[in-house]
Every structure is written in C-alpha cells, then in structure tokens.
Chain A
Amino acid sequence: MNCGHTEKKLIAYLDGKLPIAERRQFEAHLAACAACREQTEGFRSMWNVLDELPALAPSPAFDAQVRARVAQEPRRAGFWSWIVPSPRMAFAATALLIASIWISSFQPGRLAVVPPAGGPAVQNTEAEFGMIKDLPVLEDYDVLTSFDALSELPVQPTAQPQSLKQM
C-alpha cells in the first residue's frame, strides 16, 4: 500500500469498516508514513469538532402542520377512489349512472327483446323488412342457399324463404 491508497481507505478506516486485512495494511502504512498519519489524525480530530455542531429542534407546530397538510390529501377508501382521481368525479359518475338507469326505465320498447304481435308494431316490422328487402345481398339468396357450407347447417332450408314470402 502507498499514499495514493489513503484517499480510498482513510474514511472507511476511521469508520471501522475496513476488513481486517486491509486495516492492518493501512495501519502498517501509517506507521511508516508521517504525512498519511498526520492526515488521518487530522480527520479524526476534525470529526470530533464536527460533533460540536448543535442540532436544531423542529418547532412545536411542526407535527400539526404536517398533519394539516396530510389531512388535505384524498383518502384511499372505497371503489371509486382508484377509478376516479377525485370525490367530485366519483359523485358525478355515480349521478350519471343513476340518471341513465332512471331514464332508460321510461323506454321499455328499447329493452324489449320479443316484439309484441299485431297492431302498430307489425307495421314497423313491415317497414323494416321493406328496407332489408332492397339489400343486394338478398338478391343473391339463391346463390347463398347453394353454398355447401350453408347446407351443412342444422337449420331447415325452407324456413327462411317462407318467412320472406310472407312479407
């Protein structure tokens, strides 16, 4: 070991963190080198002087101020807290959801799956089928029915033409 190693080892030596072998090497160098010995002792004495620096105590209001700032933070509670970033947004989203359900309850026709038979509903159905009738794909119905793939379907091939003739 030489003086160039002192910079890398000195602080760890004073901290008592050098492995035994390195510490012995360092101490052997100090015994032989007055400059490094003086520097090491200078560091040790300077550290003792640094201990004289008085500590500053936090003000009595410190904890209360931290608590007040923390209290302004949003809490992590409930389902909406991780979906929406603020309680206002959560309220607005909930209100929108309730309003949507309430409005949809006044439009049963939209929710009905099976249309009622006869009456005005039949006229609407006829109008819709009138539109479908004009679609080009239906003009090629004969071509479609001749597909091998369609013939493999379990549905009876005569069912649909009959329903179309009824229109």
Chain B
Amino acid sequence: MARSDVQLMLDVKSGDDSSFELLLHKYRTPLVNFLFRMVRDAAAAEDLAQEVFLRVYRARGQYMPTAKFTTWMFRIATNLALNALRDGRYRRTEISIDQSSAGHSSDGENEQPALEIADQQATIEVELIRRDRAERIRRAVESLPEKQRAAVLLHKYQEMDYDEIAGVLGCSESALKSLLFRAYETLRVELAPLVQGAQVQAQVTGPGK
C-alpha cells in the first residue's frame, strides 16, 4: 500500500532519504509548473522548485503533520515565488510555447519539437492555431494579479480543495472563493474569443483534440 505524503515526510524525518526521493518524483513536475506560471521564467521556476525541496528537507527535523503535506509545500513555493517577484530577482525572459509544451526533453533544442510535430502528421495550420491559443491562455493567466494567479493555479491545475488553497495563501475560505471568482471572471472575458475558437478547432481536429 502506498504511503501517504505525511507518512513519507515522517519517514524522511526519521532518516529515510529514499522517502524524500519519492516526494521529489511525485511533486517535481507540479511544483515546476506552478512556479513557472508564477514567475514566468522556466530557469527561475526550476531554481525555486529546487529551493522548495531543499527547504522541505531542511525542515524535516521539525516537521509536524498539522496540515496536509501539499498545503505546507505549496505554501513554501508560493512564498518563494512572491518574494522572488517582489525582489525582481528573476528578470522575465520570454519563453516560446515550443519550450513550454516540449519541456526539456530534447535538451532545449528548439528544432526538435517541430520535427516531432511533423512526425505526428499534424498540419502546420492546426499546429500554429494550437500554439497561438496556448500563448494567449498563458498570457491571460500570467497577467492576473499574483494572488489571483496563485489561487487559479492551485485550484485549476493542482486541483486543491478550497481549505487547502486558503491555507496556502493564508486567507479565509470565503475570501478565497471571492478571489477565485474575480480571477475566473477576468479569464472568462479574456478568453471568450478562444471559447468559440475551441469549437471550430474541435470540428477541424475531431473529438479528443
């Protein structure tokens, strides 16, 4: 039976470093993505995600399972991201959607995703539309105020419960729901043109996208 995150962390506390490896494998991608959307810089997101894991490891001796592990970990991540944004420590570098969609699986070679796309026999037109849509979604999410952005990322992409997100952001559930509503209302207006586009794209590419 798989151990819970809290149990894994308690095992790390008692000196079992292999449990830390399991937590690293489980949360590296969610953390990197969350931090990437927060600080809008891939290299900075990786650096901050590493810092989160380091702080989790450092705190193992004092760890008490008073809250969900993810709440605790994403609170560290959110604080680091907000501090980094306020410090201006990471100057934003524009990242193309190629990089964000393909990740680093090809060691950063930008030509590789295009070849993969050709291999997938997707038409250039459909691929260009997809890229353009992703870019607009990314810009809409990243243009939200910091706290609204964090709330949306934790709710929509990490699928956290309201009490968890409220715990991460340090606000009441009622305040969080209001925060989320404002954020989604902004996104609804911003992304309205893409909603119709999605219906057109669905007709072109067929079901299942």
Interface residues of A (CB under 8 A from B): 7-8, 10-12, 17, 39, 42-43, 45-50, 52-60, 62-63, 65-66, 69-70, 73, 76-77
Contact = CB atoms under 8 A, between A and B. Distances in A.
Contacts of A43: 184, 188
A76 to B, nearest CB: 6
A14 to B, nearest CB: 9
A10 B32 contact: no
Interface string B117-153: 0000000000000100110011001000000000000
B104 A52 contact: no
A69 B104 contact: no
B133 A57 contact: no
A11 B36 contact: no
A56 B61 contact: no
Contacts of B87: none
Contact of A56 (B36, B133, B181): B36
Given A56-B42, A57-B103, A63-B28, A50 B33 contact: no
Contacts of A46: 184, 187-188, 191-192, 195
B9 interface: no
Given A39-B188, A46-B187, A49-B133, 19 more contacts: A12-B162, A43-B188, A45-B195, A48-B195, A49-B198, A50-B141, A50-B187, A50-B191, A52-B130, A53-B138, A54-B134, A55-B103, A57-B102, A58-B28, A58-B104, A63-B28, A66-B24, A70-B53, A73-B58
Contacts of B194: 49
A56 B198 contact: no
Contact of B100 (A45, A56, A60): A56
A137 to B, nearest CB: 54
Interface stretch (B44-52, B63-71, B72-80): B44-52
Contacts of A39: 185, 188
A76 B134 contact: no
Interface in B160-209: 162, 174, 177-178, 180-181, 184-185, 187-188, 191-192, 194-195, 198, 209
B101 interface: yes
Contacts of B29: 55, 57-58
Nearest to B17: A70
A68 B178 CA distance: 42
B177 A11 contact: yes
Given A54-B97, A56-B42, A56-B45, A49 B137 contact: yes
Contact of B50 (A8, A12, A42, A65): A65
A63 B195 contact: no
Contacts of A47: 156, 184
Contacts of B60: 76
Nearest to B42: A56
B180 A11 contact: yes
Contacts of B42: 56
A50 B57 contact: no
A63 B177 contact: no
9 contacts: A11-B181, A49-B137, A49-B198, A53-B141, A62-B50, A66-B54, A73-B57, A76-B15, A77-B15
B153 to A, nearest CB: 10
A52 B17 CA distance: 36
A55 B184 CA distance: 20
Given A55-B29, A56-B32, A58-B29, A49 B50 contact: no
